[in-house]
Amino acid sequence: MATAKDNLIDGRAVSAQIHAETKARVEALARRGIQPGLAFVRVGEDPASRVYVGMKEKKSAELGIRSETFVLPAETTEDELLTLIGRLNADDAWHGILVQAPLPPHISESVVFSTVSPTKDVDGFHPENVGKLMLGDNSGFRPCTPAGVHELLIRSQVDTDGAQVVVLGRGNIVGKPMTAILCQKASNANATVTLCHSRSRNVEEHCRQADIIIAAMGVPEFVKADMVSEDTVVIDVGVNRIEDTSNPKGYRLVGDVDFANVRPRARLITPNPGGVGPMTIAMLLQNTARAAENATR
C-alpha cells in the first residue's frame, strides 16, 4: 500500500509543466508577429464565474496570451449574446472564445456553444468538436477538464492500456468526454470504461474492481475507502460546497472523494484542491495557442 506521503498526483506541478510548454509556443508565435487572443464572455455577475474568469485572465497574461472579458448584463437576450459571439467569430484577432457557464436560465447553453466557431471553440463544446472526439479525430479541441485528467494520467505514468476505468457521472463536461477519450484505440487510452451514473446499480462493486476511478458526479465525498482497492488510481474532479459552522464562511469545499480515508488505500490520488482544477486552465490555454497556430498556418 502506498504511504500517505508518496501517492499524491500534484496537479499544480503538472499544470506548470504544460504552462511552460504553452509559453514556448506563444513565444514562437510572437517571433512571427502573432499574439494568441482569447475572448471571455460572461453574462451576469455570478460570483464564481467572476473568480474563474479572473484566474484565466491572469494566467493568460503570464503566458503572453492577449485576453479580454466581454461582460453582459444578466437580462441580455439570447439573440444579443449570439450577435456578440458572431462578431468575435468574424474577428481574426480572437483565436479562442470561451463563454463562461452557467448562463442565465433564459439562454440555452447548447445553442450558445453551437454558435461559437468550432475553430475557436477552445472549450471543446461545439458539436463538431464533440463528434471529432467520439470518432478519435485529434483535429478537434477536447474539453479542458477531461483533457486535463488525461494529461495527469499520462504524466503520472498511469498505464491505461486494458485498464478497468470507472467514470462516475455522465455529464457533458466531464463524464461523457472522459469516457470517449479513454476508450479510443490509441496510445494512452485503450481502456475498458464503465460509466456509472445516478441510475447505475452496484456502483460500489464497479469501483472495487477498478484500476482507475474518475469521480465527477457532484456528490460530496461519495467515494469511500471501502469502494477503493489498494492498487487503484483515484482522480477527484468534484467541487462541492458543504455546511461547516466552524468556517467563517459557513461552508467548506470538498470533492467527490472522501480524501482523508481513501488516500491511505489508493496507489495514486489527486488532492482537492490542487489536483484537477489547475489542469483545466492549463488545457484551455494550450488549446488557445493551438488555435492561433491553426489560424496562422
Residue 187's SS3 state is coil
Cα 106 to chain centroid distance, Å, stands at 25
What is the distance between the alpha carbons of residues 214 and 158, in angstroms, rounded to a whole number?
A: 13
Q: Cell digits for 106?
A: 433564459
Residue 111's SS3 state is helix
The CA-based angle 279-281-283, given to 5 degrees, is 70
The active-site residue out of 59, 100, 211, 286 is 100
Q: Cell digits for 259?
A: 480524501
Other CB atoms within a 10 A radius of the CB of residue 254 amount to 18
Residues in Cβ contact with 248 at an 8 Å cutoff, skipping those fewer than 6 apart: none
State the pairing for strand pair 96-99/37-43. parallel
User: Is 123 noted as a catalytic residue in this protein?
Assistant: yes
User: Is 100 noted as a catalytic residue in this protein?
Assistant: yes
Q: Cell digits for 148?
A: 486535463
In sequence order, the β-bridge partners of residue 212 are: 165, 233
Among 185, 188, 129, 136, residue whose Cα is nearest residue 157: 188
What is the distance between the alpha carbons of residues 160 and 150, in angstroms, rounded to a whole number?
A: 10
The active-site residue out of 123, 211, 236, 258 is 123
Phi, psi of 253 (to 5 degrees): -100, 135
Residue 141's SS3 state is coil
Other CB atoms within a 10 A radius of the CB of residue 42 amount to 19
Contact 11, 152 (CB under 8 A): yes
Query: Residues with catalytic annotation?
Result: 56, 100, 123
